[in-house]
Amino acid sequence: MENRGQTVLDMLEPPAGLCGAVLSRIALARRRRARVRLAVDMCVFFISGALLVPLAQYAGSEIYTSGFYEFFSLLFSDRQLILSSWQEFAFILLEKLPSIAVLLILSATIVLVWSLRRAVLSSKVAFTSLHTA
């Protein structure tokens, strides 16, 4: 009984190449998940990019109908009037600013940039080669 100090687990040997097979399978699953994430992120990117066009048209029409454009054009035509009462002018611009349109454009732009960033990070993982040892 020279094996008295060893347990049954110490005597069992894993099959040769098991570690490499497990690591290869994990890498394959990561690549597959990254490719699915890349496809979803690119869809979100194109949808949010396509939404920016009608949102910009909506914001443009709101800027003209709210009177923001007329007050903003005073900034370039009559600077003395603006400099003499700049606080009131700033409050008028804030009041006339179509905040819903600006909020919609800002949110679509944030989603666009966020999805592009995620797509770039996912593409780094999705298109790397498998290192099998």
| 83 within some domain | yes
HSE-CB for 107 with a 13 A CA cutoff: 8
pLDDT reported for residue 3: 57
Confidence class for position 57, pLDDT limits 50, 70, 90: very high
Backbone phi and psi for residue 102, each to the nearest 5 degrees, phi listed first: -65, -40
pLDDT reported for residue 131: 61
Share of the chain above pLDDT 90, in %: 57
Compute the average pLDDT of residues 24-38.
93
d(CA 13, CA 15): 6
| 26 within some domain | yes
| 133 within some domain | no
Compute the average pLDDT of residues 98-109.
95
Compute the average pLDDT of residues 22-50.
94
| 14 within some domain | no
pTM of the model: 0.74
Compute the average pLDDT of residues 5-31.
83
Q: Please give the mean pLDDT across all residues of the chain.
A: 88
pLDDT reported for residue 15: 81
d(CA 79, CA 106): 29
| 11 within some domain | no
**Host domain of residue 25:** 19-126
Is it the case that residue 1 has pLDDT exceeding 70? no
Lowest mean pLDDT among 33-42, 46-55, 83-92: 83-92
Compute the average pLDDT of residues 67-80.
87
| 6 within some domain | no
- Angle separating helix axes 18-66 and 68-77, nearest 10 degrees: 80
d(CA 76, CA 89): 13
| 12 within some domain | no
pLDDT reported for residue 121: 93
Q: How many domains does the chain have?
A: 1
